[in-house]
Amino acid sequence: MANTLVHTDFNFKGQKSVYHGKVRDVYDINDDILVMVATDRISAFDVILPKGIPFKGQVLNQIAATFLDATSDIVPNWKLATPDPMVTVGLKCEGFRVEMIIRGYLTGSAWREYAAGCREICGVALPDGMKENQRFDTPIITPTTKADAGHDENISREEIIAQGIVSKEDYETMERYTRALFERGSQMAADKGLILVDTKYEFGKRNGKVILIDEIHTPDSSRYFYAEGYQERFEKGEAQKQLSKEFVRQWLIENGFMGKAGEKVPEMTDEYCTSVSDRYIELYEHIVGEKFNKATVENINERIEKNVTAYLASR
- Regarding whether 275 and 233 lie in a shared domain, the answer is no
Domain that holds residue 212: 94-244
Q: State the Cα–Cα distance between residues 61 and 41, nearest whole angstrom.
A: 13
Judge contact between 220 and 245, C-beta under 8 A: yes
Q: Tell me how far apart the terminal alpha carbons of the chain are, to the nearest angstrom.
A: 37
- Regarding whether 66 and 105 lie in a shared domain, the answer is no
Residue 186 is predicted with a pLDDT of: 97
Choosing from 244, 279, 304, the residue where a domain stops is 244
Share of the chain above pLDDT 70, in %: 98
Q: What is the CATH number of the domain that holds 64?
A: 3.30.200.20
pLDDT tens readout for residues 189-216:
999 999 999 999 999 999 999 999 999 9
Q: What is the CATH number of the domain that holds 196?
A: 3.30.470.20
Q: State the Cα–Cα distance between residues 242 and 279, nearest whole angstrom.
A: 10
- Regarding whether 196 and 76 lie in a shared domain, the answer is no
Residue 1 in domain:
no
- The HSE-up count of residue 291 (CA atoms within 13 Å, CB side) is 2
- Regarding whether 34 and 140 lie in a shared domain, the answer is no
- Regarding whether 121 and 110 lie in a shared domain, the answer is yes
Residue 204 in domain:
yes
11 band by pLDDT with thresholds 50, 70 and 90: very high
Residue 163 in domain:
yes
Global model pTM greater than 0.75: yes
Identity of the residue numbered 127 = P
pLDDT tens readout for residues 19-51:
999 899 999 999 999 999 999 999 998 899 999
Judge contact between 285 and 71, C-beta under 8 A: no
Residue 165 is predicted with a pLDDT of: 95
Residue 151 is predicted with a pLDDT of: 62
256 band by pLDDT with thresholds 50, 70 and 90: very high
Q: State the Cα–Cα distance between residues 218 and 232, nearest whole angstrom.
A: 26
Report the relative pairing of strands 120-121 and 124-125 from DSSP bridges.
antiparallel
pLDDT tens readout for residues 121-172:
999 999 999 999 999 999 999 999 976 655 678 999 999 999 999 999 999 9
Of 281, 314, 282, the residue nearest 295 (C-alpha)? 281
Number of domains in the chain: 2
> H or E element: which one contains 151?
none
pLDDT tens readout for residues 82-124:
999 999 999 999 999 999 999 999 998 899 999 999 999 999 9
- Regarding whether 135 and 234 lie in a shared domain, the answer is yes
User: Mean per-residue pLDDT for 267-292?
Assistant: 92
